[in-house]
Each structure stands twice: as C-alpha cells, then as structure tokens.
C-alpha cells in the first residue's frame, strides 16, 4: 500500500462522513467479515420516550412514577432520561433520593422517602397482570422495566425507541458485501428480536441480555471462531467492546468514549456509512496493489 493511495482513501472517507484514525485502519477494515451492532443508539435512535404505565389495580400511577422518576433523574441512561422526563410531566416535582446507585445493564436502585426502590430488570416476581403487560410490550419491541418498592413490584413502565430509518438499508448493504451482522444488546431477548426482525437480522443473529462487561467477551468469542470482527456502537456500555474489536466504529452522535475507543467514526450516526467505509477500504487497497 502506497502512502499516497492510503491518504486518498482517508480523504475520500472524510467526504463520506467517516473520520479515520489513521491510514493503517483501512487494512483491518478490508478484512472484516462480521459486524456486531449495538442496538440502542446504533440501530435505534436511542432517544427514548415513556409510553405506558401499568400498576396493580387500585394503585396510584402517579406515585409509582414519582418513585421511579426520583431515582432515574440521577442517571444518564437514555431509559432513565425518558422515565424522569415522563414522571416530571405526569407527576410534577420529584422527591430527592436519600441514596442512589446506578447498576450498569440492570437499572438503578436507591432509597426514596424511606423505601428501597429499584427500577430496571431486577429479579422480581410479577403479579399476573404486570407480567402480561411486560411481555406484550416486549413482543412489540418496547423495553419494559419494573418499579419495585421494598422488594415488591409496584408497576411496569414501557419506553419506546425508534429504529433509525437507515438501519434496514444498512444491513442489506452489509450483507451484500458478504458480512454477517449480529445485534448485541443488554435488553430483553423479545425486544431485541422484534427490533432485529424490523431491520432484517435473524433470531440466530441476536445476542441479547448481555451485561455491559460481557460485551467484550462476545467480541472475543467471535474472534476465537476465526472471524475478523467490526463492532459498531455509541459508547454507552460498549466502549470496551469497541476497543477489543478488530475494527471499532463509533457513532458520531455517541459519547466521547466511543470515539476514543474506535478506529473509525461515522460522523452523522448513519449506519449505511459503515458499509461505505468497508467498500472504500476494499477499493482503496485494491487500487494500490
């Protein structure tokens, strides 16, 4: 590879909306055969909104929202921001928690008005009605989280995240380039499969309910199978996996941690540009052979 041709590749990348860390990155880009896509913020917009509130009969929706909102207000997770905003809108001022703890990949827990409160996917036994509401929301691709007080489930909140308009096209393009896509998420399997179905990823290509620290292991496992793995993420819970992949692609709309951990940045957060990057690297490196 001549330095000039690589520089041309890098310059063309900038025009396409790809920031390339260095010309040498194009070589690993060319060899990629597997693309792991983080769900939230990569395949979906990551801009979530509170949809529904289910509580046991006779229970007060506003009170459940107040408790959940109080804790979520202290978290930066997109689910948390959606719940805090929705709670404020529907229940007004939120109490200030006496204690707050973020539990990555699971949710938040803390003390509000003298009670232990959790919001997220903590192991709770759900009353029949709530379990059904949760399963129905998940089958439609919405994320459902449980609000519990002192270990007793009080309600289920659902949040929706829109799939990016460009995601399905991007996955078609990646497949046309001979790459195998995988959808990776900490979210529930039913939610992940519903999103996958909408963008043309099969159930066998869904890796769900993965804790943040396990995302690295997923990448390593695929590498151990002899694959050259690209990982696309927004840096929320996936920066380590981005750094471990043979090629890390950061959503330009994501966190600084993502951009730092990655080899390429997709400036506009458009997944189709991941396919452009691979096409560009193949073309650049063929021309100079």
Residues in touch with ligand ADP (CB under 6 A): 38-40, 72, 75, 77, 79-80, 105-108, 119-121, 143, 145, 185-187, 212, 236-237
Q: Are 235 and 256 in contact (CB under 8 A)?
A: yes
Question: In a 3-state reduction of DSSP, which class is residue 245?
Answer: coil
What is the closest distance, in whole angstroms, from the C-beta atom of residue 236 to Mg ion in the complex? 4
What is the closest distance, in whole angstroms, from the C-beta atom of residue 126 to ligand ADP in the complex? 14
Find, among 238, 236, 266, the residue nearest to 250 by Cα: 266
Whole-number Å distance between alpha carbons of 29 and 209: 28
Plot region of 280 (φ>0 → left; ψ -120 to 50 → alpha; else → beta)? alpha
212 binds, among Mg ion, ligand ADP, none (CB under 5 to 8 A by kind): ligand ADP
From residue 202, alpha-carbon distances to 118, 129, 208 in Å are: 33, 30, 13
From residue 259, alpha-carbon distances to 42, 88, 108 in Å are: 13, 32, 26
CB atoms within 10 A of CB 260: 15
What is the closest distance, in whole angstroms, from the C-beta atom of residue 30 to Mg ion in the complex? 27
In the bound state with ligand ADP, the residue whose beta carbon lies nearer, of 9 and 41, is 41
In the bound state with ligand ADP, the residue whose beta carbon lies nearer, of 33 and 260, is 260
User: Interface with Mg ion includes 40 (CB under 5 A)?
Assistant: yes
- Biggest distance spanned by C-alpha atoms of the chain: 73
User: Interface with Mg ion includes 236 (CB under 5 A)?
Assistant: yes
Q: Tell me, rounded to whole angstroms, the distance of Cα 121 from its chain centroid.
A: 16
Residue that the structure tokens 């995988």 belong to: 182
- The answer to whether 38 is a known catalytic residue is yes
Shortest-Cβ-distance residue relative to ligand ADP: 186
245 binds, among ligand ADP, Mg ion, none (CB under 5 to 8 A by kind): none
What is the closest distance, in whole angstroms, from the C-beta atom of residue 207 to Mg ion in the complex? 13
In the bound state with Mg ion, the residue whose beta carbon lies nearer, of 41 and 107, is 41
118 binds, among Mg ion, ligand ADP, none (CB under 5 to 8 A by kind): none
252 binds, among ligand ADP, Mg ion, none (CB under 5 to 8 A by kind): none
Q: Are 42 and 195 in contact (CB under 8 A)?
A: no
| Polymer length in residues for the chain | 289
Whole-number Å distance between alpha carbons of 9 and 14: 9
What is the closest distance, in whole angstroms, from the C-beta atom of residue 161 to ligand ADP in the complex? 9
17 binds, among ligand ADP, Mg ion, none (CB under 5 to 8 A by kind): none
Structure tokens at 104: 């990555």
Between 41 and 80, how does the x/- string for binding to Mg ion read (CB under 5 A)? Answer: x---------------------------------------
- Which of these is catalytic: 38, 124, 246, 270? 38
Catalytic sites, residue numbers: 38
User: Interface with Mg ion by CB under 5 A: which residues?
Assistant: 38, 40-41, 236
């Amino acid at each position: 590879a001549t330095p000039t041709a690589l520089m041309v590749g890098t310059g063309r990348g900038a025009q396409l909306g790809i920031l390339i860390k260095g010309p040498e990155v194009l070589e690993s880009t060319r060899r990629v055969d597997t693309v792991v896509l983080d769900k939230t913020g990569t395949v979906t917009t990551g801009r979530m909104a509170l949809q529904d509130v289910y509580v046991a009969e006779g229970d007060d929706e506003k009170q459940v929202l107040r408790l959940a909102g109080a804790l979520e207000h202290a978290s930066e997770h997109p689910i948390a921001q959606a719940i805090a905003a929705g709670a404020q809108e529907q229940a007004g001022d939120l109490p200030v928690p006496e204690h707050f703890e973020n539990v990555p990949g699971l949710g938040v827990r803390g003390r509000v008005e003298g009670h232990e409160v959790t919001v997220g996917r903590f192991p709770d036994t759900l009353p029949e009605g709530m379990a059904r509401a949760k399963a129905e929301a998940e089958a439609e691709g919405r994320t459902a989280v449980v609000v519990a007080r002192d270990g007793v489930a009080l309600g289920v909140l659902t949040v929706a995240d829109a799939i990016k308009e460009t995601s399905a096209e991007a996955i078609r393009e990646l497949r046309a380039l001979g790459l195998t896509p995988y959808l990776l998420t900490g979210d529930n399997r039913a939610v992940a499969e519903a999103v996958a179905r909408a963008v043309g990823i099969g159930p066998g290509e869904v890796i769900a309910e993965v804790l943040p620290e396990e995302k690295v292991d997923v990448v390593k496992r695929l590498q151990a199978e002899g694959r050259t793995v690209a990982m696309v993420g927004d840096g929320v819970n996936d920066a380590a996996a981005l750094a471990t992949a043979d090629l890390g692609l950061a959503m330009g709309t994501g966190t600084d941690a993502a951009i730092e951990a990655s080899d390429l940045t997709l400036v506009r957060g458009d997944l189709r540009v991941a396919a452009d990057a691979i096409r560009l690297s193949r073309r650049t490196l063929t021309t100079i052979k």
